[in-house]
Structure 1
C-alpha cells in the first residue's frame, strides 16, 4: 500500500508535500505529482501539508478519484525506481488518464 495523489493536484503542483517527504518519493510530472509506490514508506507526512487535500492512503481514495490510483502506478511503469525524485527532477510526462483530464486552475 502507498499514498495516492488525486484530482485536486492536477494543474496545481503545490509541492509542499515534496518538501515534507522524508524519503524523496514524490515525483513531478507535467500536470501533477505522483508518489512512487515502491519508495513510499507510508509515513503520511505528505498528507496534512497538501493545501488542496489531494493525498490519500490508497485504500481511502474517494470513489470519484479511484482512477488516480491506476494513474499513479502507470506513471512509474517505464521509469522504474530511480531511488529518489531529486535525482531525476521534473519528468516530462503524465499518466494517460491525467493527460485526458480537462485543464484546471486559474491559468487555464
Structure 2
C-alpha cells in the first residue's frame, strides 16, 4: 500500500507533509506535489499534516480518484524530490476545497532551490 496525493492539492500545494516524511517520497511540480510509490513507506504520517485533506491511502480512494495512483507514480519519475517545506501557492485560499481541479494540473517540473 502507498499513499497518494489527490485533486485537493492542485493549485494549493501546501507542503506541510514534506517535513514529516521519513522517506523523502514527495516530488514537486508547478502546482501540485506527488508521492513516489516506490519511496513511500506507508507510515501515514503525512495524512494529518495536509490542510487540504489531499492525501489518502490508495486503498481508501473512491473509484473517481483511483487515476491519481498512476498519476503520482508517473509524475514522481520526472519531478524533483522535495526535501523541505515551501510556501503554498499564492492563490491557495481561492482554490481550497474546489472539486475537479485536474484540468488545472501543470506537468512541467519546477526547479527546487
The TM-score with structure 2 as length reference comes to 0.68
Q: Aligned residue pairs: how many? A: 90
In structure 1, the residue matched to 2:3 is 3
Cα distance, 1:69 vs. partner? 1.2
Q: Does 1 or 2 have the higher relative contact order (CA < 8 Å, sep 6+)? A: 2
Runs of 4+ in 1 over 6 A off after TM superposition: none
Cα deviations by residue, 1:68-100 (Å, 9 ceiling, x for unpaired):
111111113456xx8x543xxxxxxxxxxxxx6
CA distance in 1, matches of 2:16, 2:38: 21
1:1-108 to structure 2, matched below 5 A, reads 1-78=1-78, 85-86=82-83, 101-102=103-104
> SS in structure 1 opposite 2:103?
coil
Q: Secondary structure at the match of 2:39?
A: coil
Q: Cα offset for 1:58?
A: 0.8
d(CA) in 2 for partners of 1:102 and 1:77? Answer: 20
Q: CA RMSD in A?
A: 2.6
TM-score, L = length of structure 1: 0.71
Runs (5+) with no aligned partner, structure 2: 84-101, 106-113
**Unaligned ranges ≥5, structure 1:** 87-99, 104-108
Between the aligned partners of 1:12 and 1:27, the Cα distance in structure 2 is 15
